[in-house]
Structure 1
Amino acid sequence: MTNKGFYSLLMCLFSVLFSFSQIEKDSTSIAIEESPIIANETLVKKEIDPLRPSKAAFYSAVLPGLGQAYNKKYWKIPIVWGAIGTGVYFFVRNDKQFDRYRDAYKSRLAGFKDDEFYNIISDDGLIRAQEQFRRNKEMSILITLGLYALNILDANIDAHLLQFNVDENLSLSPHYQYNQMENTSDLGLTFNFKF
Structure 2
Amino acid sequence: MLAKKNIFVFLILLLPFGTYAQKDSLNIKVEKTQITTDLYNPLSPSKAAFYSAIFPGGGQIYNKKYWKAPIVWGAIGASVYYYVTNSNDYDRFRTAFRLRSQGLKDEFTDANGNPTISTSGLENAQRVLRKNRDLSLLTGVLLYVLQIVEASVNAHLLQFDTNDNLTIKPSLTTDPMFQEAPRVGLTFKYSF
1:48-97 per-position Cα deviation (integer Å, ceiling 9, x unaligned): 22221222122111111000011000111111000100000000000000
Q: Does 2:114 align with 1:154?
A: no
Q: Following the alignment from structure 2 to structure 1, what is the Cα–Cα distance between the partners of residues 36 and 165?
A: 11
Aligned residues of 1:175 and 1:190 also touching (Cα < 8 A): no
Gapped regions of structure 2 (runs ≥ 5): 1-29, 110-114
Q: Given residue 186 of structure 2, which amino acid in structure 1 is its aligned partner?
A: G
Matched length:
155
SS in 1 for 2:71: helix
CA distance change for structure 1 residues 191 and 137 in 2, over 3 Å: closer, same or farther?
farther
Q: Does 2:108 align with 1:117?
A: yes
Tell me by how many angstroms 1:171 deviates. Answer: 2.0
Aligned residues of 1:87 and 1:140 also touching (Cα < 8 A): yes
Gapped regions of structure 1 (runs ≥ 5): 1-38
Q: Following the alignment from structure 1 to structure 2, what is the Cα–Cα distance between the partners of residues 185 and 40?
A: 39
Query: In angstroms, what is the RMSD of aligned CA positions?
Result: 2.4
CA distance change for structure 1 residues 189 and 141 in 2, over 3 Å: closer, same or farther?
farther
Equivalent residue number for residue 101 of structure 1: 93
Tell me by how many angstroms 1:45 deviates. Answer: 5.2
CA distance change for structure 1 residues 60 and 189 in 2, over 3 Å: closer, same or farther?
farther
SS in 2 for 1:49: coil
1:138-169 per-position Cα deviation (integer Å, ceiling 9, x unaligned): 11111111211221122122112211230223
**Bigger Rg, structure 1 or 2:** 1
After TM superposition, the structure 1 = structure 2 runs for residues 56-71 of structure 1, keeping only pairs within 5 Å, are 56-71=48-63
Q: Following the alignment from structure 1 to structure 2, what is the Cα–Cα distance between the partners of residues 172 and 92?
A: 54
SS in 1 for 2:185: strand
TM-score, length-scaled by structure 2: 0.72
Q: Given residue 164 of structure 1, which amino acid in structure 2 is its aligned partner?
A: F
2:186 equivalent among 166, 188, 192: 188
Structure showing greater relative contact order (alpha-carbon pairs closer than 8 Å, 6 or more residues apart):
2
